[in-house]
Amino acid sequence: MLLTSAALIAQLLSSADSIQPATIHSGRERQLSVRLQRIETEIVVDGNLDEDVWRRASLLTGFSQYAPSDGLPAADSTQVLVWYAPGAIHFGIRAFESHGSATATLADRDRIFGDDNIQILLGTFHDGRQALMFAVNPRGVQADGALVEGRNTGIGDAYINTATRGREQADLSPDFVFQSRGHVTAWGYEVEIRIPFKSLRYQPAPEQRWHLNVVRQVKHSGLEDSWAPALRTAPSFIGQMGELIGLHGLRRGLVMDLNPELTQSVSGAPGTTGYEYSRGDPQLGGNVRWGITNSLNLNGTIHPDFSQVESDAGQFLFDPRQEVFYPEKRPFFLEGSELFTVPNNLIYTRRIVQPAAAVRFTGNISGMNVGMLSAVDSRYDPGIAENAVFNILRLQRNVGAQSRIGLAYTDRIDGDDFNRVADIDGRLVFSRITSLSFQLAGSHTRRGGVTTTAPLWSADAAIRGRTLGVTALFTGIGDDFQTRSGFLVRTGIVRANIDPSLTVYGRRGAVVERFTADLEWDGTWQYRSFINGLGIQDNKFHFRFNSALRGGWTAGAALLLESFGYDGSLYANYRIEVPVAGGLDTIPFVGRPRIPNLDWVLQAATPQWQHFSGSAFYLWGRDENFFEWASGDIKVFILGLNYRPTDRLRSEFTNTWIDVHRRTDGSRVNVRRNPRLKIEYQVSRPLFVRVVGQYLQEWTDSLRDDSRTNAPILIFAPTAAEPNRHVRTAIAQTNLFHADVLVSYQPIPGTVILAGYGSNLDDSRAFKFERLTRNNDAFFAKVGWLFRL
């Protein structure tokens, strides 16, 4: 096999080198400027690179390893052929595999990253900051998205150091129309891709210069290779890309997409005469996209389909002071969403619940990225007197090679009430390893006749050396800061974070290929306390160790030393019941000043094998019992399993389990479980069937003042007769089973026929499935068709 592959590579290189004016560009020799052949022809995209035109294409070769260690020659050879016609750019990939068969399934769109895959990154504005991503697996199944570097600023996951993650990943929300086919061969796989210029935005110049890179992921080994040699320590991955030069005579033609949609839904719920169904009128709506210029698009929608075809995965929060974030899934808001990205999520389109109509203008004007959105929300709630109106503006301009500065403005109007937010933010890259991001924002809000203003400010910096690195964050959000067009996890705080790290690399094939150790300090103050020079509220030290192991395994461990200060606002509605002469009395709940924590973490993940992959996260130790503001014993277990018995059938299982016990007597105060199973069968490339089932179970004991008096806790429960009424907490439980079934046919983005059913059922006892009772369900169907004029 190795001799056969080597001989074929030598033959292909020799053949390409002998045909003029085809050129060979080795990434390892830094031949990164590619002048393409413009060839006036059209071919059928069938996955076979046997047409004569491919012998006249430019050849990209000489890939380097990027992950887990950078700078090494790629273990497997990859060849990328590229040329362009007036209406499209063409890529042909030959990926050689000397270790066995490629991992490939007949996956659904955007779900190919469990397979081996090739990712083509095109920076059509040559700004060193953004790129479009077109990915395919060995069968030519597609994924696509947009990569905007610096969009995820600040310190990320609480237990995994950001230095171990490598490059930022593309946002898969945008969908582009392009063609691809591929097949597995005896020596690896071969893929053919055609990207129409009609699907792209690019500069209004007669001769184009685009950034280009090609990334290959090999799942069984956990390796990631890059044509343009890239350092993991660099603040920009796009800034290290190669480039296409001399592109001219591109014919985009008229860009006018019409996408009418017809939807119908039937919903059921308990009624006065039993379980009742109601059917709404069929809703006819649609979207239109007009490519005004090469770089500007205008989109409009009337009564769009904003149904959720798959329920959000259940989420549990460790800290009740934080808000749950759910990603946007609705098609109209997904296209061009990268142009509306603002640090701290000051633009969050799920705040627009059920728009009756919306219009969006996106593109590039004189080197400035522009995103404008206006929407009129429906009066989906009988208590809403008027339609909410949203106006959103986002501007960004590049500064230098890899830096940028941005402005944002959001305005939400609800009758006489409003919320307006203005923002300036930026990302500055100073050297090959140093970057700084900043943000200043203010909100002006009127609600119920009361007007408030408040600030938000943030700065974070990163120095990422190959061995030593450090990231730091300092941010503050005023008590009255509001963003009703955005999303903030928590307001009224100041947060400081510093995270130095040490990374060492093993040789190729070593048991440990990369090892990172870091010590993170994270402090949180209440905003007013910080301004007035008062003490810290939450103080955390996290010692973490993460490693990339031979064969694609990863493993990590952490020690968490934390101290949480009492937050009176969280328990403002709590009282405790104490005995007094002649009976009982209630007095305000006052928790102990601080709770110390000591937690341990273990985590591991397998490589993506042909049929299976898995990951596990386990945290245990002494942690805060937020329900009673007392010290508790906690266990958190998160398990993820992927099983693909055939190339058409795949299943994903996740389970989150959180268990909190009192330290005083070991009794359980809370348990939360969320197992979720998704099964998909790909009948053909555009047609699939999906079944999702998840169980949301939570049990909470009656509460007591466990840290001090052991007295029963009462919560605020007013009535008309007793406006100051407090009642004892009782055992509370939720046992909810949710199921979704979906059949979908989608040959290209925008053209879709789907039908689905979703149901919520209450279980009498957790996980017994003895007496399931429907509390609501819904049938829905949709037909949409994309017409490209």
pLDDT, mean of residues 605-634: 93
Q: Using the predicted structure, report yes or no on whether residue 103 has a pLDDT greater than 90.
A: no
Q: Using the predicted structure, report yes or no on whether residue 527 has a pLDDT greater than 70.
A: yes
> Which stretch, 144-153, 324-333, 527-536, has highest mean pLDDT?
527-536
CA–CA distance, 525 with 456 (Å, rounded to integer): 14
State the DSSP H helix or E strand holding residue 429, giving kind and residue range, or none if neither.
strand 417-429
pLDDT of residue 11: 47
% helix, strand, coil for the chain, step of 5: 5, 55, 40
The whole-angstrom distance between residue 207's C-alpha and the CA centroid of its chain comes to 35
pLDDT of residue 156: 35
pLDDT, mean of residues 85-95: 96
Task: For residue range 565-612, list pLDDT tens digits in order.
Answer: 998 888 988 999 888 777 677 888 988 899 999 999 999 999 988 899
Is residue 595 within 8 Å of residue 561, measured between CB atoms? no
- Categorize the per-residue pLDDT at 324 as very low, low, confident or very high, splitting at 50, 70 and 90: low
Q: Using the predicted structure, report yes or no on whether residue 537 has a pLDDT greater than 90.
A: yes
Tally Cβ neighbours within 10 Å of residue 607. Answer: 20
Edge-to-edge strand list for the sheet holding 188-196: 24-26, 58-61, 78-85, 88-96, 188-196, 179-184
Length of the chain: 789
Task: For residue range 372-388, list pLDDT tens digits in order.
Answer: 999 998 876 666 667 89
- Categorize the per-residue pLDDT at 160 as very low, low, confident or very high, splitting at 50, 70 and 90: very low
Tokens of 689: 């069937």
Is residue 558 within 8 Å of residue 518, measured between CB atoms? no
State the DSSP H helix or E strand holding residue 244, giving kind and residue range, or none if neither.
strand 242-248
The whole-angstrom distance between residue 387's C-alpha and the CA centroid of its chain comes to 30
Domain boundaries, the chain: 2-248
Is residue 265 within 8 Å of residue 280, measured between CB atoms? yes
- Categorize the per-residue pLDDT at 432 as very low, low, confident or very high, splitting at 50, 70 and 90: confident
Task: For residue range 240-263, list pLDDT tens digits in order.
Answer: 999 999 999 999 888 899 999 998
> pTM of the full predicted structure?
0.85
Tally Cβ neighbours within 10 Å of residue 416. Answer: 11
DSSP symbol at 486: S
Is residue 485 within 8 Å of residue 350, measured between CB atoms? no
CA–CA distance, 56 with 22 (Å, rounded to integer): 5
pLDDT of residue 431: 79
Domain 2-248: assigned CATH number:
2.60.40.1190
Is residue 484 within 8 Å of residue 453, measured between CB atoms? no
Which one, of 144, 126, 337, lies nearest residue 245 by Cα? 126
Is residue 78 within 8 Å of residue 216, measured between CB atoms? yes
State the DSSP H helix or E strand holding residue 761, giving kind and residue range, or none if neither.
strand 751-762
CA–CA distance, 456 with 440 (Å, rounded to integer): 6
More confident residue, 161 or 436: 436
pLDDT of residue 507: 86
Q: Is 432 exposed, middle or buried (0-12, 13-18, 19+ CB in 10 A)?
A: middle
Q: Using the predicted structure, report yes or no on whether residue 310 has a pLDDT greater than 80.
A: no
Which one, of 429, 7, 380, 32, lies nearest residue 186 by Cα? 7
Task: For residue range 658-714, list pLDDT tens digits in order.
Answer: 999 999 999 999 999 999 999 999 999 899 999 999 999 999 999 999 988 899 999
Q: How much of the chain exceeds pLDDT 90, in percent? A: 61
Q: Using the predicted structure, report yes or no on whether residue 155 has a pLDDT greater than 70.
A: no
Side chain identity at 148, as an amino acid letter?
Answer: V
pLDDT of residue 458: 96
CA–CA distance, 590 with 629 (Å, rounded to integer): 9
pLDDT, mean of residues 67-71: 89
